[in-house]
Amino acid sequence: MKRVVFLALLVAGAASATAQPTPSSSLDGEWRGKSDGGSCNAPLDFVITIENGFVDGSAFDTTAHGPVPNLKKAPPPAPTPGLWQIHGVVNPSGSFSLVSVASVKATDRRRGKLTARSEGGGLVVSETTGCRRTARLTR
């Protein structure tokens, strides 16, 4: 039993000696906030996580609606995107770009571009395409 414990400690010590410290960003953490409506008059609720400089998150449009009953027998209108996935890499020396992709069905694939920057103690995210919304996020 003592040999097993000794070997486990030996392996753990060797693993910690070779492990590289992971780089971190001053913006690491979970960020939340709400955008203005932009030209679409559709605000987004943002939840973004930054870990080791990598951005992963989502934005949700609470005003989006899915298909509605079609009483006129016409082609139904396409559902508006309600959920956006957000990805990117932090640039510690200024603003950085993010990519957003809408979760919609079929061939309607929507993409957007965002620009983020640190401002004061918060994070400002602006759409550079589409509705041109601006969100102020806090930890």
Which structure tokens are listed for 52?
A: 């080791």
Residue 89 placed within a domain? yes
Q: Tell me if 11 is assigned to some domain.
A: no
Per the domain annotation, does 2 fall within a domain?
no
For residue 35, is it within any domain? yes
70 within domain boundaries: no
Q: What is the pLDDT of residue 47?
A: 95
* Structural domain that includes position 54: 23-65+77-138
Question: What is the SS3 string spanning the chain?
Answer: CHHHHHHHHHHHHHHHHHCCCCCCCCCCEEEEEEECCHHHCCCEEEEEEEECCEEEEEEEECCCCCCCCCCCCCCCCCCCCCEEEEEEECCCCCCEEEEEEECCCCCCCCEEEEEEEEECCEEEEEECCCCCCEEEEEC
Task: Evaluate whether residue 94 is within a structural domain.
Answer: yes
Q: Is residue 7 part of a domain?
A: no
pLDDT at 6: 53
d(CA 32, CA 59) in angstroms, rounded, equals 10
- 0.75 surpassed by pTM: no
Model confidence at 134, pLDDT cuts 50, 70, 90, reads very high
Q: Does residue 113 fall inside a structural domain?
A: yes
| pLDDT, tens only, 54-92 | 999 999 887 766 666 667 777 765 556 678 899 999 987
pLDDT bin (cut points 50, 70, 90) of residue 10 is low
* CA separation for the pair 129, 114 (Å, rounded): 8
Q: Output the pLDDT for position 4.
A: 52
Q: How many domains is the chain partitioned into structurally?
A: 1
- pLDDT value of position 30: 96
